[in-house]
Each structure stands twice: as structure tokens, then as C-alpha cells.
Amino acid sequence: VTLVPSRAQRFPFFAPGAGLASGFRRIVGIMHGYTEDKDAYLRRLRKVEGQVRGLQRMVEEDVYCIDVLTQVAAVTRALQAVALGLLEDHLGHCVTSAIEQGGPDAQAKIAEAAQAISRLVKS
């Protein structure tokens, strides 16, 4: 007997995220696009956190404005790289799964991804 995961098993239900700011969808018991690389993403975000603390130190120590700005641009690029990684993983997992399943859900996922891309481009 081959057990094929049902749509319900393969697709997450959305549960209110306990411990999260309300409004975020926490996915219970399912992998996301970024789940495989979760540790790598956490490392990158901790590095970004360190860079932001570095910015605070620069302001506290009266570092020259232009040098602060150069570092702000570096942090922004690091965040953008995280976003682009998350987006590619999202396309390769969540959007791909929805398209493989077919139906209106696929179109909704693509529209949702397009809106996220638009927010990235405009941010």
C-alpha cells in the first residue's frame, strides 16, 4: 500500500499564531519554503541584528554621517538578500505545490507572490 498524503495532510491549515503578534499566520506541522534552510536564515537574521546594533554604536560614538549611511545601505542589502532567498524558496515550494494541485488556489498563490514582489521592489 502506498500512502499518498492527502491534500489536507500536504497543505497546512492556518492557526492563530500563539505567541505571535496577532495577524500572522502560523503554520502547524508543515514545512514551508524556507524550513529546510531555517538555520541558515536564522544565522543571517542574527547577523543583520548585529549590524543594526553596530549602527547604534556608530551613532552613539558620533561616527561621521556618511560612514553611518554606508552601513545602513549594507544592512538594507543584507535584508534584501534574505527577502530574495525567502521568495525563491516560496516559489519553489508553496507556489509550486499549489500549481501541482491546480485549481483556483494556484492562481491565488501567484497573485499573492506578485504582490509580495511588488512590495519588495517598492521598499
Residues 58-117 touching its own copies, rule: CB under 8 A, are: 58-70, 72-77, 79-80, 82-84, 86-92, 94-96, 99-100, 102, 106-107, 110-114, 116-117
Q: How far is the CB of 1 from its own copies (least distance, A)?
A: 23
Residues 21-60 touching its own copies, rule: CB under 8 A, are: 21, 24-27, 30, 32-35, 38, 41-42, 45-46, 48-49, 52-60
How far, in Å, CA of 119 to CA of 83, rounded?
A: 11
Distance from first CA to last CA of the chain, Å, rounded? 50
Q: 20: buried, middle or exposed (CB in 10 Å: 19+, 13-18, 0-12)?
A: exposed
DSSP 8-state assignment for residue 12: P
Of the pair 3, 94, the CB lying nearest its own copies is at 94
Copy the grid coordinates of residue 89.
524558496
The verdict on 10 binding its own copies (CB under 8 A) reads no
